[in-house]
Chains A and B, each alone.
Chain A
Amino acid sequence: MAYKIIEGCVNCWACLPLCPSEAIREALPHFMIDARACTECEGDFADPQCASICPIEGVILDGLGVPVNPPGSLTGIPPDRWAEIRTQIQAR
């Protein structure tokens, strides 16, 4: 099983030096995890490192394709709030 970085990643570099398997590489449009090298940090750390420092919700998926940091989990912003505010801004 392997983790995966998807669209939305802001290429902030935070995860890359932490990976014990050196599975993360700089790429465009966003950083990538080499699925063959990723161990989900098994045997190295209690928590998967990339997903523990990533600041962007929803952009790292676990082996089952589920976001490790779902919307609202990192910023504390209720998921609907942003959409609601965006509508208000557009209505100005």
Chain B
Amino acid sequence: MELKVIADAAGAPGGGCTSSGCGAGGEKLAHLPEAIRAKINNHPCFSEDAHHHYARMHVAVAPACNIQCHYCNRKYDCSNESRPGVVSEVLTPDQAVKKVIAVAAAIPQMTVLGIAGPGDPLANPQRTLETFRQLSEKAPDIKLCVSTNGLALPGLVDEICKHNIEHVTITINCVDPDVGAKIYPWIFWNNRRVTGRKAAEILIAQQQKGLEMLVARGVLVKVNSVLIPGVNAEHLKEVSRVVKAKGAFLHNVMPLIAEPEHGTFYGLMGQRGPTNEELSALQDACAGDMAMMRHCRQCRADAVGMLGEDRGDEFTLDKIAEQEVDYAAAMARRAEVHAAIEASRTAQRNQSSETFVSIASLTRRRPARPEPRPVLMAVATTGGGLINQHFGHAREFLVYEASASDVRFIGHRKVDLYCSGDETCGDGESVLAKTIRVLDGCEVVLCSRIGYEPWGQLEAAGIAPNGEHAMEPIEDAVAAVYREMEAAGLLERSGGTAQRMSA
């Protein structure tokens, strides 16, 4: 006998919704007021579900910065690198507006324009605000966002509100100046370079003041934090608590990127980044206090396209110079595409919310023996919330954890971590070997198709390749594979205390 279980977004204790299709961004955002959920419904950076369907772009109009962070190197522009603070060409506001219009017409899924650097957008107020001013006039259907280190924020809050900016991201790595002194060597403040604890003290005060001012004006604030093992790892729990209390709606803890070749202080001084386990554990610890974001890809300040992809090369200045875009027509087409996406999301949501579970697993088995253990599965997808990518084409994998109570998105793993350069700047490891290494801990990889050679090597590494769920919604397929594994007796606990696995 089969029992039809209707997933309950709020009710299930400790479990929550089985689908990221429930509410904007999955169960973690279900508590947010309707008005906020409506604002982020199609924002790929704020809503985990939206990032399967919608695209974003950044325009690099803001080269200047007013602080130095130990994870940033102001000298670099390597086109093979993908990390914040890196861009290929800095644009003037006019050039940026032209680029946004061209991208909006060519990629109708693009809903969000952010200014994120390569310096600090608010340390370049004229360039940043002029770009927003023109866009709010010429492309009123695009959401505008800005990210900042917060130092200049309090003085610019009123200007920001004038330009219809709905979302602001503040990078807050600490609320304790002693921690801050290990992250920020200097700030530029009141016409002087200020160093040490004093600098951190001023920066923290400005960030907190800016956060409060934005919340008071109804602007959505997300807080980004860089997890730096041994420097602010434990402290970020306190940061999460403080920013939530002040009204930030989302906390995004990102791993430190620190390789020696990046030339940053941390990279050169041997500061390591967190492991996948450390990052997940901290995100879980903060999640008790705060809606957490786990799908951030730490984009370049000139990224274009779906999260995880960068189509910036298609829209360089020379390529868009001759283009004339009829934006009214483009806007009509964009509205049609968005309506189609929303219709398909609604359909997926309705489908996913009805999960068939054998009644035996609910009533008889559970009391009789321990819960089956959770399993991590990696998924190759190009978007749309479907398993629709060839294994060999995947440059990143989404990682889901299936357990007896739910399927939840945990994070993503990049194959060519932050660098896609050829063998001359790589370490010679084959792409397949690297892929298998980054999939460590996953037991299954779901993709639309997979070649013979990788199939064998994955199996040898203890990862089961699976191409049987091509074009199916991700969470349904993960749940189905989990049930197959359970039926095959693969999920017995090996004894000892069960631990929640992490990406």
Contact = CB atoms under 8 A, between A and B. Distances in A.
Interface of A: 10-14, 17-18, 45-47, 49, 52-53, 55-56, 74-77, 81-82, 85, 88-89, 92
B75 A53 contact: no
Contacts of A76: 70, 185, 265
B23 interface: no
B192 A55 contact: no
B191 A14 contact: no
A92 B119 CA distance: 32
Query: 10 shortest A-B CB distances, which residue pairs?
Result: A14-B64, A55-B74, A12-B63, A53-B188, A52-B193, A85-B260, A13-B64, A76-B185, A13-B63, A81-B268
Contacts of A92: 427-428
Contacts of A52: 188, 191-193
Contact of B192 (A13, A14, A46, A89): A46
Nearest to B77: A10
Contacts of B185: 74-76
Contact of A53 (B66, B70, B265, B269): B66
Contact of A14 (B123, B186, B428): B123
Contacts of A47: 191-193
Nearest to A85: B260
A85 B191 contact: no
A13 B191 CA distance: 16
Contacts of B68: 55, 74-75
Most buried by B among A10, A46, A77, A81: A77
Contact of B268 (A11, A13, A14, A77): A77
Interface in B169-223: 185-186, 188, 191-193
Contact of A55 (B65, B70, B126): B65
Contact of A82 (B74, B119, B263, B428): B263
B30 to A, nearest CB: 42
Contacts of B63: 10-14
A60 to B, nearest CB: 12
A46 B186 CA distance: 17
Contacts of A88: 260
Interface string B107-150: 00000000000010001101100000000000000000000000
B261 A89 contact: yes
Nearest to B62: A13
A15 B261 CA distance: 27
21 contacts: A10-B74, A10-B75, A12-B64, A12-B119, A13-B64, A14-B188, A46-B191, A46-B192, A47-B191, A52-B192, A53-B188, A74-B68, A75-B68, A75-B185, A75-B265, A76-B185, A77-B269, A81-B268, A81-B269, A89-B260, A92-B428
A47 B193 CA distance: 9
Given A74-B186, A77-B269, A53 B193 contact: yes
Secondary structure of the A contact surface, majority rule:
loop
A45 B191 contact: yes
Interface in B59-107: 63-66, 68, 70, 74-75, 90
Interface residues of B, number: 28
Interface string B260-304: 110101001100000000000000000000000000000000000
A12 B70 contact: no
Contacts of B268: 77, 81-82, 85
Nearest to B73: A75
Given A14-B65, A52-B193, 20 more contacts: A10-B74, A11-B90, A12-B119, A13-B127, A14-B63, A14-B66, A14-B119, A46-B191, A47-B193, A55-B65, A55-B68, A56-B75, A74-B68, A76-B185, A77-B265, A77-B269, A81-B268, A82-B268, A85-B268, A92-B427
A14 B188 CA distance: 10
A82 B261 CA distance: 9
A74 B191 CA distance: 16
B124 A13 contact: yes
Contacts of A46: 191-192
A73 to B, nearest CB: 9
A31 B305 CA distance: 33
B123 to A, nearest CB: 7
B192 A12 contact: no
A74 B193 CA distance: 10
A10 B65 CA distance: 12
Nearest to A53: B188
A88 B259 CA distance: 13
A55 B127 CA distance: 19
A59 to B, nearest CB: 10
A18 B191 CA distance: 8
A88 B269 CA distance: 13
Nearest to B192: A47
B169 to A, nearest CB: 21
A52 B269 CA distance: 25
B65 A12 contact: yes
Nearest to B426: A92
A89 B268 CA distance: 11
A76 to B, nearest CB: 5
A81 B268 CA distance: 7
Interface string B433-449: 00000000000000000
Contacts of B261: 85, 89
A14 B193 CA distance: 13
Nearest to A16: B64
